[in-house]
Structure 1
Amino acid sequence: MTNVLILGANGQIAKLVEKQLLDETDDHLTLFLRNAGRLKVTDPKRETVVEGDATNKQAIIKALDGIDIVYANLSGKNIEDEAKTVVGAIDRTTLQRLIWISTLGIYDEVPGEFGKWNHQQLDGGYLQTYAAAAKVIEGSDLDYTIIRPAWLSNKDIVSYETTQKGEPFKGTEVSRKSIADFVVKIINDPSKEIRHSVGVNQPNTDGDKPSWY
């Protein structure tokens, strides 16, 4: 059994990860979020809800007690501050393993017309703040995995391929279920993708923009 701390537990991908872990493992989940009332616990015997802010280092340190792996599904304009807080909190423990959700384009790794379109959509603060947060994670001594999803869909499909930092990003879109599956695979085998920044996309979705645009 693995003790997993999910930061930002009310997020759409986080909820999919929660369900898959409950269905497929015997892991215990600590669900950390700002407003605990927004979350409905599925299995009280295997889930603990903690209300707190991801910029509060002491709250995260307290939530880390007994945890084996942290999965951070955080977002917002203060994502860099959240990254600094999470890294600082984990550094106060013996824990090393962190899974961090980011976004495509933080290294200017998206090629062609789609790359230009992605910049048009995400420039003006979003890409810059997520890139800064990733830099914080990469500058730590943690056993991190940064996940850079393509544009996210709610399609009921698990189909994905990956690229590494330094490689051109592939595809334009990916389902949230696919990202959740990738997260669960790393939780199940924490030796995978250590200190890697991984792009994740659905195969054969190349184009100038995602299919719904």
Structure 2
Amino acid sequence: MTKVLILGAHGKIARLAENQLLTKTDHQLTLFLRHANRLDVSDAARETVVEGDATDQASLEKAMQGQDIVYANLGNHDIEKQAKTVVAAMKASGVKRLIWISTLGIYDEVPGKYGQWNHQMLDGGYLETYSAAAKVIEASGLDYTLVRPAWLSNKDIVSYETTQKGEPFKGTEVSRKSIADFVVSLINDPTKEIGHSVGVDQPGTDGDKPSFY
């Protein structure tokens, strides 16, 4: 049994990962989010809900007590500040393993016309802040895994392939269900992909932009 702290627990990928963890593992989950009343607990014996802000180090440190893994499903314009606060709280709490959801394009690793389209869609504040947050995680000294999904769909499919930092990104899209499955695989084997930044896409989705654009 592993104790997992999920930051940003109301997010779509986080909810999918939560459901899979409850269904297929015996892990204990702590669900951390800003507005606790937005979340219904599925299994009160295995889930604890904590209301807090990921830029509040004291709240994070309290939630991290006794945890084995932190899975951060955070976002918005505060992502760099969130990264700094999460890293500081983990170091203060003695928790080493971090799974951090980022985005594709933070290393300018998306090739061709798709890369140009991705810049057009995400430049101007989004890619820059996610790139800055990733640098914080990579310099943290923690046992981190950065996850860089392709453009996300709600398709009911689990199908994905991965690339590593320094390799060209592959497909244009991936399902949220696939990202959740990848996160769960890292939780189930915390020794996988330590110190790696992993691109995740659905095989066979190469093109100039995702199919839903």
**Does the alignment reach a TM-score above 0.5?**
yes
Runs of 4+ aligned residues of structure 1 deviating over 3 Å after TM superposition are none
CA distance in 2, matches of 1:94, 1:10: 25
Alignment of 1:1-213 (within 5 A): 1-213=1-213
Write the distance in 2 (CA, Å) between the matches of 1:94 and 1:13: 26
> Quick one: distance in 2 between partners of 1:48 and 1:9?
11
**Deviation of the 1:93 alpha carbon:** 2.0
Q: Secondary structure at the match of 1:131?
A: helix
Counterparts of 1:46 and 1:164, CA distance in 2: 34
The one-character-per-residue Cα deviations of 1:50-107 (angstroms, maximum 9, x if unpaired) are 0000000000000001100000000000100000000000010221000000000000
State the SS of the aligned residue for 1:156.
Answer: coil
Q: What is the RMSD of the two structures over their aligned residues, measured on CA atoms? A: 0.3
Q: Which runs of 5 or more residues in structure 1 are unaligned?
A: none
Q: Shift of residue 7 of structure 1?
A: 0.1
Q: Which amino acid aligns with 1:60?
A: L
Structure 2 residue matching 1:92: 3-state secondary structure: helix
Secondary structure of 1:50's aligned partner: strand
Structure 2 letter corresponding to 1:134: A
- Per the alignment, in what secondary structure is the counterpart of residue 109 of structure 1? coil
SS in 1 for 2:93: coil
Q: One-letter code of the match for 1:19? A: N
Question: Aligned residue pairs: how many?
Answer: 213
Shift of 1:115: 0.1
Give the distance between the partners of 2:84 and 2:95, measured in 1 at CA.
16
Partner Cα distance (1:76, 1:85) in 2: 15
